[in-house]
Structure 1
């Protein structure tokens, strides 16, 4: 279970999201990333104009071929001339009604991310479980019975390709770093987190820790953050930097700076890459992990769950 704030660009679109209990994402790589990154059973709120609106549970998610025919969002046209529809959708169960300013201290985790990165510029932002607990007592419970929405439109299953010749958005997307980061976050949660905690000498059950998406720091954005869900007294943290290709001393130095900036409670970091350059140094407190996908065919396409099943991690 995770909690996300879904960025909505306009007031008109926000109204449509609230009226229909839907979250919609464009047929871009970022829209696809939102669809696969947010799971059924996760919680979301809408984020618009420095305010947080409502709390929902994700009941289902779908990709449809004919979004313009059924709405509720009109296609958007970028200055480049490229036009995007909204084929990727989350079906939401209303939990609480609220409209709260982001300046509240309860939103400090996500507000700091937005401040340091200079604005939204993303489809969604993951908040920690403490923020979810805070939001769960804001506003009022949603009224009335919820009837699960039926899928409208013609559904399809978007896939990922490792060969650019197979790419055909929104049906087939190329592998990108945001997709890899999402896969790694879930792989850590589902099987590798215990190894990580033992590596850095952290006591406790893996269930007591959470793996969060991108965390903003003064000099940049670390890709993944591991921390206790409900810290008491101290907040031990592990930072993870992800590179799709080969990593070397430059990436190692970048992760080292992030560790220094994140404060004395950070116990170490992990640099994850497909391969590492021969001259890469060994730095105390930073581990090197290689990733791979078992049995990948460059001439095939894969669903996100298939890639998650094939993903492996190994310390180098």
Structure 2
């Protein structure tokens, strides 16, 4: 279970989201990334104009071939390219609220916005403490019937490791943000115990969470591992993900993030397909490999298929 704030660009689009109990993402790679990153059962709110609107739980995810026909969002143009909204989250209303981002309860996300200089993202993952705080804001909402999806032409988007098979929005090329999302969920589903053991952190892995893209003064680290509800101590681990080979520049970047993230950060993990020979050993950073078992360039895969085939472990183990 995770909690996301979904960025909405215009007031009109926000109103359509609130009226339909639905979130839509564009046919771009960032839109597909958001669609895959959020799971059924996760919680979401909308973010627009430095305000947070409503709380929902994701009931279903669908991709449709005819988004322009069914609406409610009009296609947009960015950098002379046209994008529709094929990726949809069908939402169950939980609470009605309209709260300013300057409230201390939204500090985790507000820091990300401030350090990034604005939105520039489809969605932001908040921590579990933020979700608990939001769960007491506003008033409860009753669900207004089921979603009408008659006339929707549904398809299954896929990911390819070959340029020849790429055909957005039906088939996207593998990108680092997609890999980050897959690794975040793999860590949550059974590898967190290995991380805690590697850094000598005591505690039940179920008491820790993995959050995506934490902003820092010099950039953003791909993943942050932290206690869900810290008591006395707040040990954190930073994770940087590289799609190809990682080298000394990637190690240097992670070292900067470790220094900026505070004294309770116990170390970092650099995850890559392989590591260049010029990379040096650092006592505070572990090198991990990822691999997709049985992958071929001759076909495309669903996100779920890749999640089942992904394996990550410390290098040499």
Give the match for residue 31 of structure 2: 31
| Deviation per residue, 1:130-164 (Å, 9 max, x gap) | 0000100111111x344232434100000000000
SS in 1 for 2:244: strand
Q: Which residue of 1 aligns with 2:40?
A: 40
Describe the SS at the equivalent of 2:258. Answer: helix
Q: Equivalences for 1:78-227 in 2 at 5 Å?
A: 78=78, 80-142=79-141, 144-152=142-150, 153-227=152-226
| Paired residues of 2:50 and 2:100 also in contact (CA < 8 A) | yes
Displacement of 1:175 after TM fit?
0.2
The separation in 1 between residues aligned to 2:100 and 2:148, in whole angstroms, is 33
Q: Distance in 1 between matches of 2:167 and 2:9?
A: 26
- Which residue is 1:243 aligned to? 242
Deviation >4 Å, runs of 4+: none
Partner SS state of residue 302, structure 1: coil
Q: Structure 2: how far apart are the matches of 1:252 and 1:145?
A: 48
Partner of 1:303: 302
What's 1:263 paired with?
A: 262
Structure 2 spans left out of the alignment, 5+ residues: none
Structure 1: 5+ residue stretches without partners: none
CA spacing shift, 1:145–1:43, aligned 2, 3 Å: closer
* C-alpha distance in 1 between matches for 2:198 and 2:144: 45
CA deviation string 1:66-123 (max 9, x = no partner): 0110100011112x32111100000001100000000000000000000001111111
Offset at residue 279 of structure 1 (A): 2.0
The answer to whether the Cα contact below 8 Å between 1:62 and 1:151 also exists between their aligned partners in 2 is no
Match of 1:232 in 2: 231
CA contact (8 A) 2:92 2:143 kept: no
Q: Distance in 2 between matches of 1:88 and 1:166?
A: 20
Q: Which residue does 2:69 correspond to in 1?
A: 69
TM-score by length of 1: 0.98
Q: Distance in 1 between matches of 2:27 and 2:46?
A: 19
| CA-atom RMSD in angstroms | 0.8
Q: Hey, what's the Cα distance between the residues in 1 that align with 2:267 and 2:157?
A: 36
What is the alpha-carbon distance in structure 1 between the residues aligned to residue 308 and residue 143 of structure 2?
37
Contact 1:293 1:312 in 2 (8 A): yes
Please name the residue that 2:4 is paired with: 4
Question: How far is the alpha carbon of 1:249 from its aligned partner?
Answer: 1.2
Q: Number of residue pairs matched?
A: 314
The residue matched to 1:213 in structure 2 has which SS? strand
- Whether contact under 8 Å (2:93, 2:143) holds in the other structure is no
**Per-residue deviation, 1:314:** 2.2
Task: Tell me if the contact between 2:115 and 2:217 (Cα under 8 Å) persists in the aligned partners.
Answer: yes
Which residue number in structure 2 is paired with residue 60 of structure 1? 60
**Equivalents in 2 of 1:145, 1:233: separation in Å?**
40
Residue pair 2:248, 2:279 contacting (<8 A) in 1 also: yes
CA contact (8 A) 1:116 1:218 kept: yes
CA shift, 1:315, in A, is 1.2
